[in-house]
Chain A
Amino acid sequence: MSNLLQVNDLHVTFVTPDRTVHAVNGVSFDLKRGETLGILGESGSGKSVTLRSILRLHPEHRTRWSGSIKLGGDEVLEMGPRALSDLRGQRVAMIFQEPATAFDPVFTIGQQIAETVRRHTGKSDSDSWKRARELLEMVRIPSPEQRLKAYPHEMSGGMRQRAMIALALSCNPSLLLADEPTTALDATVQIQVLLLIRELQREFDLGVIFVTHDIGVAVEVSDRIGVMYAGKLVELAPVERMVDAPQHPYSRGLLASTVHDGMRGQRLEAIPGAPPDLAEVPGGCSFAPRCKFVRPDCTASVPSLREVETAHAVRCVLAA
């Protein structure tokens, strides 16, 4: 089956008069229809920047891109503004971390879903409104007719995120980008929203990229997991492999730092140190300063992402 999305050697640099930040430094991955890729990383690892680059949501005048983002046969990085805005919301949709701030506070939920439908399908006002109602039913929001007329602040967090998902799916996209969509929600609501996303993904055969810093969530939803550190993918593997046999010292550290059953009384593992400043591209492995297995050749040159087993790639000189 052909790839829905192919990202190749993506670099993203933010340039301001005072500072240059190399946020993403050579990320490559692909995604098939119906597949969920979880991107795991701590804040500042470049996971959200990578995700938003797929829709080119960063301010154009301050952002330098290089590499390639191919969607079907189209190169996103070379699209003109018109083609780009046609793509956004129609073929690729996005759900945000904070539904409270991602909705415009002075328009009703119905208006905001209907305007998206109208924008991409050219449907009439009343047909768009009908479609918005269907969508709210689809994400199981009770009494959708009244909810359409509600303003974002009149809804609960979980309800808003459902509405956000309804909005994202309003024009039948083939790719759904989820930027920590459950981070701002209560634990119980979190599970409901995750289940909803997974169910809708199966129903519509969506490709999903799910960015999170929550390992449990990533394991729950993903088919494959990519671990990002300092703007690079350091490991990419099917979810079972990642849980059972993580190869990169950083992935191992991350997985060891989670809490699970039978750990009462034990000390939690933590990774010492902090992620590097991204003002300069390091000459060697970015994780080397924090790594307990560091060797002289770690800092000599940037390790390449090597396949250690089918579909399991690691960016580490130690990986067998």
Chain B
Amino acid sequence: MLLYALRRLIYLVPVAFGVSLLVFGLVHLAPGDPISAIVPPDAPKEVVDKLKEYYGFDQPLPVQYLRWLGVTLTGDFGTSIGTGRPVATEVASAFGNTLILAIAATLLAFTLAVILGTAAAYAKSRIVDRLVTLISLVGVSVPHFWLAIVLVIIFAVELGALPPMGIGPENSTGWRFDRAHLAHMVLPTIALSVIPLGVVTRTVRSTVKETLSMEFVTALQAKGMRDRQILFHVLKNAAPTCLAVMGLQAGNLIGGSILIETVFAWPGTGFLLNSAIFRRDLPILQGTTLVLAGFFMLLNLTVDVIQTMVDPRIKRG
């Protein structure tokens, strides 16, 4: 098992190389010039050239790529064009904030999804099943940024029960585990969990239902196993499929929360990316995308490894 994980880790190297090429290439394909974003429109040409030289934009693209890759590999993602601070610092703090929110949202969404999906699959009355199907359909279809705004209007503006935005109180220097910071997390967590809740509930429901119709469940009943023992067998069988979907959803939460983070002014990677795009802050854009892609790869690897641990039929080749 350890050997398998190691081998998969080595396979990630060429993938990571491809990702770095894409990240670098896509950013340069996009229209807009980073230098014109930081200098006044009437700046003399010499100043612009000087800045281009300073940031290395005067070099041909392959040279730029290799230089970028070289410093990136040492853990140095360069300097933000917008703020002048090291990209690594900016991305690290934003990534931490996003991760906190993503973990809270996945925990909420996945727990509810497993309970609801299993209940629907087991349900003998059609009402329970329909209700859960409705919930998951709403979860997938409702635009989550719209829901976020509605939540803010109801709970922050009208009821005044929860803070509408930010990571914590005004003097907050970063996320901490206390009441005030947790209160700030409630609304973004709910808004963020809606889509994965819908998707995963649907997957759990159909996978568990399919497993329940298999002959071995009858065989388990025929040997007198208790209902909760049978449930354990069923869930273990349904796990690989559900885990694959969960992995993808968790990955989406890390990278795809731009809208939610913008609505709630949550200083995470989505927020950072959003502002970097508008400022044409290439180093930040590249650094963030690269970190997110790297995280996505590790997440997929983890899911794959867990899958082979759960289901012995999945080949470890």
**Nearest A residue to B212 by beta-carbon distance?**
A59
Report yes or no: B216 in contact with A103, Cβ–Cβ below 8 A: yes
Q: B313 at interface (Cβ–Cβ under 8 A)?
A: yes
Report yes or no: A116 in contact with B221, Cβ–Cβ below 8 A: no
Complexed CA–CA distance, A117 and B267 (Å): 56
Q: Given contacts A89-B222, A115-B229, A151-B312, could you give 17 more A-B pairs where the C-beta distance is less than 8 Å?
A: A52-B218, A55-B222, A57-B221, A57-B222, A87-B224, A88-B223, A94-B219, A94-B222, A96-B218, A98-B215, A101-B215, A102-B215, A102-B219, A104-B236, A107-B233, A115-B225, A168-B223
Interfacial chain B residues near A167, Cβ < 8 Å = 223
- Interface size class on chain B is 20 to 34
Tell me the minimal C-beta distance from B210 to chain A in angstroms: 13
Q: Mark A153-192, 1 if CB is under 8 A from B, else 0.
A: 1000000000000011000000000000000000000000
Report yes or no: B313 in contact with A153, Cβ–Cβ below 8 A: yes
Complexed CA–CA distance, A103 and B214 (Å): 10
From A104, A115, A116, B216 is in contact (CB under 8 Å) with A104
From B215, B224, B229, B311, A120 is in contact (CB under 8 Å) with B224
Q: A106 at interface (Cβ–Cβ under 8 A)?
A: yes
Q: A260 at interface (Cβ–Cβ under 8 A)?
A: no
- Interface size class on chain A is 20 to 34
Tell me the minimal C-beta distance from A156 to chain B in angstroms: 16
Q: A289 at interface (Cβ–Cβ under 8 A)?
A: no
Q: B310 at interface (Cβ–Cβ under 8 A)?
A: yes
Q: B124 at interface (Cβ–Cβ under 8 A)?
A: yes
Q: Is the interface of B mostly helix, strand, loop or mixed?
A: helix
Q: B45 at interface (Cβ–Cβ under 8 A)?
A: no
Q: Which of B116-137 contact A (CB under 8 A)?
A: 124
Report yes or no: B216 in contact with A88, Cβ–Cβ below 8 A: no
**Nearest A residue to B124 by beta-carbon distance?**
A61
Q: Mark A96-119, 1 if CB is under 8 A from B, else 0.
A: 101001111111000000011001
Tell me the minimal C-beta distance from B232 to chain A in angstroms: 10
Report yes or no: A101 in contact with B216, Cβ–Cβ below 8 A: yes
Interfacial chain A residues near B220, Cβ < 8 Å = 104
Report yes or no: B223 in contact with A105, Cβ–Cβ below 8 A: no
Q: Mark B287-317, 1 if CB is under 8 A from A, else 0.
A: 0000000000000000000000011110000
Report yes or no: B219 in contact with A103, Cβ–Cβ below 8 A: yes
Tell me the minimal C-beta distance from B228 to chain A in angstroms: 12
Q: A86 at interface (Cβ–Cβ under 8 A)?
A: yes
Q: A93 at interface (Cβ–Cβ under 8 A)?
A: yes
**Nearest B residue to A88 by beta-carbon distance?**
B224
Complexed CA–CA distance, A97 and B229 (Å): 23
Of A61, A98, A102, A119, the most chain B CB neighbours within 10 A belong to: A102
Interfacial chain B residues near A119, Cβ < 8 Å = 223-226, 229
Q: A257 at interface (Cβ–Cβ under 8 A)?
A: no
**Nearest A residue to B236 by beta-carbon distance?**
A106
Complexed CA–CA distance, A85 and B272 (Å): 58
Interfacial chain B residues near A168, Cβ < 8 Å = 223
From A61, A85, A87, B225 is in contact (CB under 8 Å) with A85
Interfacial chain A residues near B216, Cβ < 8 Å = 101-105
Interfacial chain A residues near B229, Cβ < 8 Å = 115, 119
Report yes or no: B224 in contact with A104, Cβ–Cβ below 8 A: no
Tell me the minimal C-beta distance from A116 to chain B in angstroms: 5
**Nearest A residue to B215 by beta-carbon distance?**
A101
